[in-house]
């Protein structure tokens, strides 16, 4: 096994072999497949759809299948993230998902602290540190602008702002409560300009995506609108056309 020579510190990736550092924030679409019935049936199909749309458009798309599908999804698509990572090292932690396990599965990163899997600020820090020490990317979720700014200080690659009352509602935060987005953008940019910002909760149309980008975010995080779309590929192509 070739040892990964990168390490993470002070909000940057460092490449120890060559001595340079970088943190690149892309505009992107993040698809959280959750555990819907459609997800159980079609997770790998959704990974193939994402791969095809990336090849056609060049837009970065991340897909987050449930953990049983991670290895197979990562074998057919390069931007696979876990839906959750635990703040523990490998060991006697029954049912846990350590960052080292994700690395072994060729997963590229993980969501952290989703509103349906909140872990508390202390564990957010631990989970981020473990992801970054394994050279994995991170998307940390927050419910309020204040929490988003606090998490940004921990140097995830992205913070996703998702008011929980709008998740799965079909009512996008970018249209329903745009002040939450603008407040989040200001607080994070004031405190940590290197952290990307994603808009989640209720994102269901390309107009929602366009509005989120206009408000200063770097992309969107969504779930049910994609998973339950009549034609997932066309749906994703429409979203990608906004970038």
Sign of the Cα pseudo-torsion (86, 66, 53, 216, in order): negative
* Residue 137 is among the residues annotated as catalytic for this protein: no
Question: Which residues have C-beta within 8 Å of that of residue 48, sequence separation ≥ 6?
Answer: 76, 77
Catalytic residue among 84, 114, 137, 143: 114
Q: At what angle do helices 232-240 and 206-214 cross, to 10 degrees?
A: 30
Pick the CATH number of 25-240 from 1.10.10.10, 3.20.20.80, 3.20.20.70, 3.40.50.300: 3.20.20.70
Helix (H, G, I), strand (E, B) or coil at 155: coil
Separation CA 155–CA 151 (nearest Å): 7
* Residue 150 is among the residues annotated as catalytic for this protein: no
Catalytic residue among 137, 143, 147, 162: 162
Q: How many CB atoms lie within 10 A of CB 33?
A: 23
Separation CA 133–CA 32 (nearest Å): 24
Q: Report pLDDT for 117.
A: 95
In the numeric block, which tokens belong to residue 186? 């200001």
Q: Report pLDDT for 13.
A: 47
User: Over its length of 243 residues, how does the chain's per-residue pLDDT go in tens digits?
Assistant: 333 444 444 444 444 332 334 356 789 999 999 999 999 999 999 999 999 999 999 999 999 999 999 999 999 999 999 999 999 999 999 999 999 999 999 999 999 999 999 999 999 999 999 999 999 999 999 999 999 999 999 999 999 998 877 666 666 777 777 889 999 999 998 876 689 999 987 898 999 999 999 999 999 999 999 999 999 999 999 999 999
Give the CA dihedral 13, 111, 216, 152, nearest 10 degrees.
Answer: -60
């Amino acid at each position: 096994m070739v040892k990964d020579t990168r390490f993470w510190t002070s909000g940057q990736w460092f490449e120890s072999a060559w001595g340079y550092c970088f943190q690149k924030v892309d505009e992107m679409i993040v698809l959280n497949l959750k555990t819907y019935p459609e997800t159980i049936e079609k997770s790998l199909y959704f990974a193939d759809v994402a791969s095809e749309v990336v090849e056609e458009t060049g837009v970065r798309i991340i897909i987050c299948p449930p953990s049983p599908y991670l290895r197979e999804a990562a074998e057919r698509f390069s931007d696979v993230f876990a839906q959750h990572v635990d703040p523990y090292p490998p060991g006697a932690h029954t049912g846990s998902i350590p960052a080292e396990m994700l690395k072994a599965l060729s997963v590229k990163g993980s969501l952290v602290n989703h509103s349906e899997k909140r872990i508390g600020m202390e564990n957010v820090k631990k989970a981020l540190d473990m992801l970054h020490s394994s050279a994995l990317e991170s998307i940390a979720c927050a419910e309020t602008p204040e929490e988003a700014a606090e998490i940004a200080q921990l140097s995830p690659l992205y913070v996703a702002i998702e008011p929980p009352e709008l998740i799965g509602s079909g009512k996008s935060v970018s249209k329903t409560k745009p002040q939450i987005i603008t407040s989040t953008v200001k607080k994070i940019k004031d405190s940590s300009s290197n952290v990307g910002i994603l808009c989640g909760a209720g994102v269901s149309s390309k107009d929602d995506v366009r509005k989120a980008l206009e408000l200063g975010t770097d992309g969107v995080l969504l779930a049910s609108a994609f998973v339950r779309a009549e034609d997932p590929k066309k749906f994703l192509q429409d979203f990608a056309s906004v970038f």
